[in-house]
Structure 1
Amino acid sequence: MSSRQLKKLERAKLEASNNEEPDIEEPVVLNQNKGFNAFSFLGDGNEEEEEQEDKEEEVVEEVKTPKKPSSKKKKKKAKQPKKDEEDSEDELDKILAEAKAKDQEKLGSVEPIEDDLEGVADFEEEYNEITQPMISYDSNFKNFTTERLSKCLALLSIDNVKNLDPDEELKNLFGELSLETIEDANTTTALSITPDVLKQFKRLARLTKGWGGKDRRSVPGSNRKLLLTRIKDDYLPTTIKPLQMEELDDDSVLDIFDYKEDIAEVEELQLKIRKEKKLGVKYFKFNKVHSVRDRVADSQFYASVVLAPDHDALFALLNNHPYHVETLLQVSMVLLRQGDQKSTSNALIEKCLFVFDRCFHMFFHDTLAEAKNGLLRLPYESFMNRQFQLCIFRYIIGLAERATFFTSFNYCKLLLSINPTEDPLGVRYFIDFYAIMSGEYKYLTQLADSPLVTSYTKWFTPGIAFSTALAYIHLNDMENAKKALKRAHLSHPYTSYRLLETICISPQMPIKESDVKVNEEIILSAETYMVRAKLLWNDSEKIKFLTDELMKYFIEDGVSATTPSSFSSMVSKFFKGDTKPKDNKEIPFNLLRFVILSGENSLMAKVPQNIWSRDDIYEFDPLPPKVTTLGYDARTGIENNKVVDYALDYVNQDILATLIQNRTQTDEFDDIVRQIQQQE
């Protein structure tokens, strides 16, 4: 029951108590024509039903409190002091406040920190006093406190959901004359499809109520519009959603925090979760829809990609299951490797994004629509959350190929915002490129000085460091450009050397790169910037500035451009304790994932060989989080009730065994599927 209904009922009770005769007990007359409605207590937010209930309640109030003849006793009531009325009002306010609190709880509002945690030590207070960035990552990234997060919400925000629409950017670039071209692009198909089949799809679209609409953003079963994509002609019209999205409760969030934690107590983690909720942070996860059809698709995918790679089987699977997320992403990569089918590959990635787009949780959808995405979290421990983030990563690359850099930049902010601490796909290693290419120079300078970068030394990546100096140059702020370049040089001297060697105006290099002993992480992170540096430093004046300043910094460090021995001593000073290559276990996983997913040969060549020998590097899920707890199912041998899930968790072992044992005959496979359907 809503607070508005409670208020009316309570007011009716007060009026009845103020007006009733003390020695006369009046019966309560009920509206016998109105049936009992069990759903009226659920508060489902149906405004029309609430308005009808309000009208009916007003009728009930009139029946419950009929007019009475005036009497002396009633006059005495009227002459009572106002204190009684104020007490009644206070009691009413208290009741309404409690009702409002319950309503807000249903809507997902923030609860105050409970008394049982008041005595718990708040580790965030200690971290807030730390002013220097932490060198190493700690469990749960505690140095990035809730207070620091609150200061970064504006930097994580996409500002306007239209900034995620590449068509809006094309309109800004080419004007209204390009609308027909944009519409033609939106009607292209993902895979080759015959005109007859396309005609059938269009007929189905007309028969499927709520499919598409004039703006191509309507989906059946919801009044909400798509935010990230538009429906294309070759999207099979269907009312069935292949995924669901749920909000995680506090216990589920605590499980995620706890499984990664090695220092803080559970009560301390609970306190952090409460503080995040007070700020408005919410956690979500995508779930697969459990059905025999979906488990068949999951099993066929796993067999065709992991156990016995088969591209033909993968394409057949996509024809039978056009909205299977993993298949869409994998087939897009197969087409991309063929070299001449980039447009089709990008269309499949966009179709995959559509699958997620239509399945957003209502609160997630509305919060994203309001550009408050900095409060939304998708833990990387969930397999389908990983698929969503992988889809966005690849969509960013496709947008960049269309030169819609501003849209790419905003998707970078979205991808960073849903997991700003772990940054599982390494957005900090490439967001600077899209910021420069889209002219968001001021944003980059603000990002470099924000807790999103200053909380940990590794968050100040070579890209952010050196591109910030370039951003100040674009802003004609040469003084801050020199300061930023100096800061970048001191933080990443090896990248300075690589820039001097590759970008600058052919100075006489003081030493060979092979003579500089650094660890594998430094080499790999430097290459993430060098792979795009020439596209950024593409102006002769900027290159001259870079050359002069870097040479000056090397000289200031006591190095002559013609004395390699001095340079070697300088390198030792910069890399004190790091002159020997370290074990690559210290390479951050987000850096490795970014390198693997980038597809850049120069980058992947610098990945340590033993990384490639791991058994958990797949294009559809590279280097997933590891589970440290066991809970085996006796029949399947698969872990259950765990924080992290994998593709194998959605596979049916009987179907998988049948597929592997006899891939050419379908009779036995069909029998297995029928048996599973009967069991359900």
Structure 2
Amino acid sequence: MSTRYMKKVYGDMTLETGNDDTSDMEASVTSNKSKSFNVFDVLISDEEDTGDWQENEELVTNDVDYNDTKRRKKKKKHKKLESERLRSQQEHNAECNENIDEIEQSIKEVNKLLGEPLPGCSTQVLQAQWVDNISKENILIVQRKYLNPYNELKRLFGSKTVESGQSKKNKGRLGRKTWLICPQDSPLISTTRSGLYMSLDHSIKTTNGVHYFVYEHSASYKEVQLKFLQAVESLNPENIVMLSISDIVSLINLANAHPYHIDSLLQVSEICKLTDDLAYAAEFIKRALYCLECAFHPSFNITTAKCRLDYRKQQNRAFFITLFKHLGFVGGRACYRTSLEFCKFLLSLDPEGDPLAVVLFIDFYALKAKEYKWFLKFCDLWEDSRNLTQLPNIAYSLALAHFRLGNKTDACTLLQNALIMFPGVLMILLEKCSIQADSKVMSHKFFNSQAQANTSPALEKLQKLYVVRSFRLWKETDILQWLEECVNSVLNRVELKDDYIKYCQVKRHTRYRGKLPRNILRHIILSDLQEVIVNIQEIQGDAPVLSHDPLPPLDSIDIYKRPIANDRPNDSSNFFSLFFSSLFRDINGAAAALNDLNLL
């Protein structure tokens, strides 16, 4: 056996080893054995070592005695060190207690001055309450990770499906870093000389950390804008096409082409939409939004919800309208979470004025994105300043959000109140969902003749707008069953002559008289729903409705005076003739011009 082997068995005792080849062979064999060694392995050694058993037994006994003595010394030394450590720890604790006593004493003195805290309030509870205390502005904070529609498409359909659908030319694009436009859609053309930039708006006072900004136009951009206005007023579609898209398609190289002129892109997008080419219509909107974002001021942060733009100023309105149209195209791809983020951002630009009436469809995108808790919090925070529950869409969506969260009692109460306040919604909703109402509902005048008589044209349009946009939310089986229960409960309350029914009837008659506000009319025009249109009688003034700037504010602050065309039609029999003539006199000519450029 080798020396190393014997040391493992007997400790540090030195043993004499033979010089014969047998001992070396044994040493080489045992060295290849496992490093872990148990002293009881000696008991099961080979028969060749039986003769040395007695000698080994004596050595083991001596080694055990030696190890016991060594272990007792270590234990005694350890106890001594442990006692010294305990003594030093007690001294340290005493010092800490003295410091704690001084801190507690100071806290008591402060509490005497400021008042005692509420009993049972721990730091964790107070911190949770502070986190939950969201302000009106903070509820509109945008989360950047949800602004990319491709991320949402990947969550819905899987990464492989989305990546396979993308063209190879869009992969690995290295355009400018933007948040409103995802990298796959970012144009590669530089916008450094677009002539569009943003600056701080010093004409409006800054309060509560809210900053106002304004878009500025360079001299070259102003020249293009004047040409654009002349082209629109002259009703010549070819001029507008050549002014905005020649360099984009890289087929025509015109000296006066400006592919990043915002209003031109908005107008051409409308032409593509009228010719049912939605892909190109969305592409032009993306280009316009990309150019607008590249012009941001360094202090303009989309995630703070405290950056404002004054819609009255002519050069700011393009950003509102571009965002509105972009979120509509994104929502058309079933990216409702992304559309909700754009709704929050668009509303944060002017939350009190809401020039495009974002509150008329923010509920739809919130429910489709299953952001029920966020929607309830939003309504709770903005109810006092905006009276959101006075809108049919908010009233019905609140009930639906509570139902989805499992609050059946609150949901029933809210839905019954919505049915009583806006009874005209029910029959339109059932007809849109292709559901035949029972005989009791059909024969009762509360949801039929009486509802029609007590509903003003303005309110009727709001109700129809909500149904056309959100009727699919009510087509599920559990929702329809719940709706039927609430309708029967309302009819019972009508038979019992509930006071709330009379109150809502008076309120409905006094509150919704007159014409719709200008921002709601603007919302309907931009939404472009075939079943909900704006009549010519509802528009104040005789100015044409332009797609790049529909219904400017009455107190508009313009930096351009719109040229007066000599051939503008003086009489229009209906709104559509005025609307289409304001876009282009010859829509087919515009489509032919786009076909010549291989865009359709």
Shorter-chain TM-score: what band?
Answer: 0.5 to 0.7
Asked whether 1:426 is paired with 2:357, we answer yes
Indicate the residue corresponding to 1:359 in structure 2: 295
Indicate the residue corresponding to 1:626 in structure 2: 554
CA contact (8 A) 2:456 2:512 kept: yes
Asked whether 1:313 is paired with 2:243, we answer no
CA contact (8 A) 1:216 1:232 kept: no
CA contact (8 A) 1:453 1:460 kept: no
1:296 to 207, 223, 234: 223
Indicate the residue corresponding to 1:455 in structure 2: 385
Cα distance per residue 1:71-107 (max 9 Å; x no partner): xxxxxxxxxxxxxxxxxxxxxxxxxxxxxxxxxxxxx
Indicate the residue corresponding to 1:590 in structure 2: 519
CA distance in 2, matches of 1:382, 1:461: 28
Indicate the residue corresponding to 2:314 in structure 1: 383
Indicate the residue corresponding to 2:425 in structure 1: 495
CA distance in 1, matches of 2:552, 2:211: 22
Q: C-alpha displacement at 1:533, in angstroms?
A: 3.1
Indicate the residue corresponding to 1:520 in structure 2: 457
Question: CA distance change for structure 1 residues 554 and 499 in 2, over 3 Å: closer, same or farther?
Answer: farther
Cα distance per residue 1:639-674 (max 9 Å; x no partner): xxxx7126536x799xxxxxxxxxxxxxxxxxxxxx
The alignment's TM-score, normalised by the length of structure 2, stands at 0.63
Q: C-alpha displacement at 1:284, in angstroms?
A: 0.7
Indicate the residue corresponding to 2:214 in structure 1: 285
Question: CA distance change for structure 1 residues 570 and 554 in 2, over 3 Å: closer, same or farther?
Answer: farther
Q: C-alpha displacement at 1:486, in angstroms?
A: 3.1
For 1:30-179, list aligned pairs within 5 A.
Answer: 151-158=135-142, 160-178=143-161
Residue type at the aligned position of 2:231: S
Residue type at the aligned position of 1:336: K
CA distance in 2, matches of 1:550, 1:286: 51
1:553 to 490, 503, 510: 490
CA distance in 1, matches of 2:219, 2:211: 25
Residue type at the aligned position of 2:458: E
1:442 to 370, 373, 378: 373
CA distance in 2, matches of 1:582, 1:623: 21
Per the alignment, in what secondary structure is the counterpart of residue 136 of structure 2?
Answer: helix
CA contact (8 A) 2:201 2:212 kept: yes
Cα distance per residue 1:556-577 (max 9 Å; x no partner): 1337xxxxxx99x998753327
CA distance in 2, matches of 1:174, 1:622: 37
Cα distance per residue 1:138-166 (max 9 Å; x no partner): xxxxxxxxxxx9722232011x2121111
Residue type at the aligned position of 1:290: A
1:602 to 524, 528, 531: 531
Cα distance per residue 1:381-403 (max 9 Å; x no partner): 12222110100100011101211
CA distance in 1, matches of 2:159, 2:432: 42
The alignment's TM-score, normalised by the length of structure 1, stands at 0.56
Per the alignment, in what secondary structure is the counterpart of residue 244 of structure 1?
Answer: strand
Q: C-alpha displacement at 1:613, in angstroms?
A: 6.5
Residue type at the aligned position of 2:548: F
Question: CA distance change for structure 1 residues 171 and 331 in 2, over 3 Å: closer, same or farther?
Answer: same
Question: CA distance change for structure 1 residues 167 and 582 in 2, over 3 Å: closer, same or farther?
Answer: closer
CA distance in 1, matches of 2:538, 2:429: 28
| Stretches of structure 2 lacking an aligned partner (at least 5 in a row) | 1-132, 247-256, 566-600
Asked whether 1:648 is paired with 2:582, we answer no
Question: CA distance change for structure 1 residues 515 and 490 in 2, over 3 Å: closer, same or farther?
Answer: closer
Indicate the residue corresponding to 1:396 in structure 2: 327
Q: C-alpha displacement at 1:432, in angstroms?
A: 0.9
Range that drifts further, 225-234 or 480-489: 225-234
CA contact (8 A) 2:421 2:508 kept: no
CA distance in 2, matches of 1:652, 1:614: 13
CA distance in 2, matches of 1:609, 1:290: 39
CA distance in 1, matches of 2:456, 2:162: 51
Q: C-alpha displacement at 1:532, in angstroms?
A: 2.1
Question: CA distance change for structure 1 residues 613 and 167 in 2, over 3 Å: closer, same or farther?
Answer: same
Percent identical: 27
CA distance in 1, matches of 2:513, 2:328: 31
Indicate the residue corresponding to 1:8 in structure 2: none
Indicate the residue corresponding to 2:280 in structure 1: 344
Indicate the residue corresponding to 1:465 in structure 2: 395
CA distance in 1, matches of 2:315, 2:290: 14
Cα distance per residue 1:476-531 (max 9 Å; x no partner): 22122113213433543433564466556513322335852322321121122111
1:237 to 152, 174, 190: 190
Per the alignment, in what secondary structure is the counterpart of residue 178 of structure 2?
Answer: coil
CA distance in 2, matches of 1:152, 1:233: 32
CA distance in 1, matches of 2:169, 2:139: 31
Question: CA distance change for structure 1 residues 538 and 496 in 2, over 3 Å: closer, same or farther?
Answer: closer
CA distance in 1, matches of 2:506, 2:344: 35
Q: C-alpha displacement at 1:458, in angstroms?
A: 5.2
Per the alignment, in what secondary structure is the counterpart of residue 152 of structure 1?
Answer: coil
CA distance in 2, matches of 1:521, 1:571: 21
Indicate the residue corresponding to 1:117 in structure 2: none
CA distance in 2, matches of 1:575, 1:547: 22
Per the alignment, in what secondary structure is the counterpart of residue 475 of structure 2?
Answer: coil
CA distance in 2, matches of 1:466, 1:436: 11
Cα distance per residue 1:578-626 (max 9 Å; x no partner): 65997644x2222111111111122116x46342863153211112112
2:204 to 240, 253, 266: 253
Bigger Rg over Cα: 2
Q: C-alpha displacement at 1:232, in angstroms?
A: 5.3
Question: CA distance change for structure 1 residues 646 and 295 in 2, over 3 Å: closer, same or farther?
Answer: closer
Residue type at the aligned position of 1:299: L
CA distance in 1, matches of 2:528, 2:260: 25
| Stretches of structure 1 lacking an aligned partner (at least 5 in a row) | 1-148, 189-213, 219-224, 255-272, 560-565, 628-642, 654-680
Indicate the residue corresponding to 2:70 in structure 1: none
Question: CA distance change for structure 1 residues 454 and 161 in 2, over 3 Å: closer, same or farther?
Answer: same
Cα distance per residue 1:314-354 (max 9 Å; x no partner): 11111211001000001101110112x10010000001000
For 1:560-579, list aligned pairs within 5 A.
Answer: 574-576=504-506, 579=509
Question: CA distance change for structure 1 residues 502 and 182 in 2, over 3 Å: closer, same or farther?
Answer: closer
Cα distance per residue 1:441-476 (max 9 Å; x no partner): 1112222222x2332435642212211211222222
Per the alignment, in what secondary structure is the counterpart of residue 561 of structure 2?
Answer: helix
Per the alignment, in what secondary structure is the counterpart of residue 212 of structure 2?
Answer: strand
Per the alignment, in what secondary structure is the counterpart of residue 237 of structure 1?
Answer: coil
CA distance in 2, matches of 1:583, 1:614: 23
Per the alignment, in what secondary structure is the counterpart of residue 353 of structure 1?
Answer: helix
Per the alignment, in what secondary structure is the counterpart of residue 151 of structure 1?
Answer: coil
Q: C-alpha displacement at 1:287, in angstroms?
A: 1.4
CA distance in 2, matches of 1:152, 1:515: 36
Per the alignment, in what secondary structure is the counterpart of residue 423 of structure 1?
Answer: coil
Question: CA distance change for structure 1 residues 181 and 608 in 2, over 3 Å: closer, same or farther?
Answer: same
Residue type at the aligned position of 1:625: P
CA distance in 2, matches of 1:376, 1:150: 18
Question: CA distance change for structure 1 residues 464 and 582 in 2, over 3 Å: closer, same or farther?
Answer: closer
CA distance in 1, matches of 2:159, 2:356: 36
CA contact (8 A) 1:245 1:287 kept: yes
CA contact (8 A) 1:426 1:594 kept: yes
Cα distance per residue 1:273-292 (max 9 Å; x no partner): 5xx2xx3111111111222x
Instruction: Name the count of aligned residue pairs.
Output: 414
CA distance in 1, matches of 2:533, 2:467: 13
Residue type at the aligned position of 2:561: L
